[in-house]
Amino acid sequence: MPVGFGHAIKTRGRPLSVMAHLKKSIVEVKATDNCLTHALVIAIARVDNDSNYKSYHDGWKIRPVVKNLLETTDIDLINGAGIPELTTFQEQFREYKIVVYQVLSCDSIMFEGHVESSKRLNQLYDVVGRHYHGITKQTGATARQYVCKACNKDCRSDSTQSAIRCVVTA
C-alpha cells in the first residue's frame, strides 16, 4: 500500500520540461513561439497584481499583448531569444529585474539584469527544450526554505546573520 509523507517533488534526474509541468511554482509556457515574451508578460502581470494574470497564466488573452509588446519594443525573436534579447528586454523594463536560471538551483543564473529593483521577474530556461518558463515562487521552484534576493544564495531562514553575511560578501 502506498504511503505519502508530503515531501516536495524530487527533481534529480527529471528534465526541466517535466518539472515545469509538475511544480506549481513554475508557470509552464505552452506557446511554441516567443516563449520568452510570454513568460515575461505573465511575470509582469503577477508582480503588478494585474487582473489578467490568471488568464495569461492559462494561455488566454496573452497573444495580442505579446504581439503588441514585440511591436512597441521593436525586438525580433525570429532566431530565438538569448542574452542579447534578454539585455534588450531589460533595457526596456528598467522597473523590473530580469533573472534567468538554467536549472532549478540558486547558483545557476544564466542572466541577471543590472537594475536595482525589488520587482524581480524570475525565469527558467530549459536548455534541452530551448524554452522559457516563468517562476512564480523561487523557494518553491528550487525547493529551498529561503533564497536571499541580494546574493541569490539559499539559506535556512531570513535571519539577520544571513543578511549580514550577504552584505559583507556582496
Domains of the chain: 16-143 (3.90.70)
pLDDT of residue 45: 95
Reduce the DSSP state of residue 125 to 3 states and report it: strand
Contact call for residues 141 and 26 (beta carbons, < 8 A): yes
pTM of the full predicted structure? 0.75
How many whole angstroms separate alpha carbon 114 and alpha carbon 32? 28
Q: What are the residue ranges of helices labelled H in the chain?
A: 16-22, 35-47, 53-57, 63-73, 83-92, 138-142, 160-169
pLDDT of residue 9: 44
Torsion, CA 91, CA 51, CA 59, CA 37, rounded to 10 = 0
pLDDT tens figures, 119-167: 989 998 888 888 898 888 766 566 565 566 666 665 555 554 444 455 4
How many whole angstroms separate alpha carbon 54 and alpha carbon 152? 27
Q: How far apart are the first and last CA of the chain?
A: 50
pLDDT band at 101 (very low <50, low <70, confident <90, very high): confident
- Closest to 123 in 3D by CA, of 152, 147, 131, 69: 131
